[in-house]
Amino acid sequence: MPNHTVLADWPTRRLVLVCIATYLGLHMALRLTFGQTLEMDEAEQVLLGQWLLPGYDGQPPLYTWLQYGLFSLFGRSLTTLSLFKNLLQLLTYLLIFLGARKLCGRESLAALATISMLMIPQFAWESQRDLTHTPLSVTLAAATLYAYLVAVDRRKLVDYVILGIVLGLGPLTKHNYSLFAGCLVVTGLTTPAGRQLFLDRRVAVTAFLAVAVSSIYFSWFIGNPDLATSSAHKLSAPIEWGRTAGLKDVVLSAFTYLTPLWIALLLFPRAYVQLGRSLIRGRGPYHVERFLPVLFAVLTIAVLFFGLTHYKDRWMQPVLFLFPALFFAGLPPDTDPRRVRWFTYAALSVGALFILAMFAHVIAGDVLGKHPSRNFPFTAIAEQIRTGGFERGLIVGDSAWVAGNLELLLPESDALAPGFIVPREKLGRFHDGIILAWDTEKRREPHPQFLEFVRERLGLVVNLSEARYLTGRYQHSDAVEGTIGVLYLPVETLPAPGAPSTP
User: Which DSSP string corresponds to 95-134?
Assistant: HHHHHHHHHHSSHHHHHHHHHGGGG-HIIIIIHHHH-SHH
CB 30 within 8 A of CB 390: no
The answer to whether residue 500 is domain-embedded is no
pLDDT at residue 1, as a whole number = 35
Regarding whether 213 and 349 lie in a shared domain, the answer is: yes
In the three-class reduction of DSSP (H, G, I as helix; E, B as strand; rest coil), residue 488 is classed as strand
- Same domain for 152 and 298, yes or no, is yes
Q: Is 56 in the same domain as 84? A: yes
Asked if residue 503 is part of any domain, the answer here is no
Nearest CA-CA partner of 195 in 259, 285, 257: 285
Q: Which pLDDT belongs to residue 368?
A: 86
Q: How many CA atoms lie within 13 A of 60 on its CB side?
A: 24
Instruction: Judge whether 246 lies within some domain.
Output: yes
Residues 166, 209 contacting (CB under 8 angstroms): no
The boundaries of the domain holding residue 409 are 376-493
Residue finishing a domain among 316, 335, 360: 360
Model pLDDT, residue 284: 66
- Asked whether residue 366 is domain-assigned, the answer is no
In a domain, 114, yes or no: yes
C-alpha closest to that of 142 among 189, 184, 203: 184
Q: How far apart are CA 288 and CA 190, in angstroms?
A: 10
Give pLDDT, residue 230: 64
- pLDDT per residue, tens digit, the chain (503 aa), is 344 444 567 889 999 999 999 999 999 999 999 888 999 999 999 999 999 999 988 899 999 999 999 999 999 999 999 999 999 999 999 999 999 999 998 999 999 999 999 999 999 999 988 889 999 999 999 999 999 999 999 999 999 999 999 999 999 999 999 999 999 999 999 999 999 999 999 999 999 999 999 999 999 999 887 776 666 545 444 444 456 767 788 888 899 999 999 999 999 998 998 888 887 776 666 889 999 999 999 988 888 777 666 677 778 899 999 999 999 998 988 888 999 999 999 999 999 999 999 999 899 988 888 888 999 999 999 999 999 989 999 999 999 999 999 999 999 999 999 988 777 767 766 778 899 999 999 899 999 999 999 988 888 888 898 999 999 999 999 889 999 999 999 887 776 554 443 33
- Of 330, 360, 390, which residue sits at a domain end? 360
Question: Would you call 414 helix, strand, or coil by DSSP?
Answer: strand
**Residue 16 and residue 123 in one domain:** yes
Distance between CA atoms of residues 68 and 65, nearest Å? 5
Domain count, the chain: 2
Which of 276-279's residues contact partners 24+ apart within 8 Å by CB, and which partners?
277/330, 278/326, 278/329, 278/330
**Bridge-based pairing state of the strands 394-397 and 414-416:** parallel
Beta strands at 468-473 and 414-416: parallel, antiparallel or unpaired: unpaired
The DSSP-derived string for 330-361 is T--TT--HHHHHHHHHHHHHHHHHHHHHHHHH
In a domain, 501, yes or no: no
Say what the pLDDT of residue 241 is. 45
Instruction: Please report whether residue 498 resides in a domain.
Output: no
Coarse DSSP helix, strand, coil percentages of the chain, rounded to the nearest 5 percent: 65, 5, 30
pLDDT of 258 reads 94
Q: Do residues 316 and 415 share a domain?
A: no
Same domain, 103 and 252: yes
User: Max CA-CA distance within the chain?
Assistant: 85
**CA angle, 107 as apex, 22 and 147 as ends, to 5°?**
90
* 354 shares a domain with 380: no
pLDDT for res 342: 94
In this prediction, residue 432 carries a pLDDT of 83
53 occurs within a structural domain = yes
Query: What is the reported pTM?
Result: 0.91
pLDDT at site 350: 96
- Whether residues 429 and 282 share a domain: the answer is no
Which residues, 6+ apart, have CB-to-CB distance to 352 below 8 Å? none
CA-wise closest residue to 165 among 206, 216, 215:
206
With beta carbons less than 8 A apart as the criterion, state whether 410 and 397 touch: no
Residue 482: its H or E element? strand 481-489
Same-domain check for residues 248 and 393:
no
Strand order through the sheet with 394-397: 414-416, 394-397, 434-439, 481-489, 468-473
Indicate if 345 and 407 belong to the same structural domain: no
Radius of gyration of the chain (CA): 25
d(C-alpha 246, C-alpha 276), whole Å? 24
329 and 386 belong to one structural domain: no
State residue 310's pLDDT score. Answer: 67
pLDDT at 294: 93
- Strand, coil or helix: 397: strand
Question: In the listed set 326, 360, 394, which residue is the last one of a domain according to the structure?
Answer: 360
E strand segments, 322-443:
394-397, 414-416, 434-439
Say what the pLDDT of residue 469 is. 96
Distance of alpha carbon 212 from alpha carbon 64, whole angstroms: 19
Shared domain check, 405 and 340: no
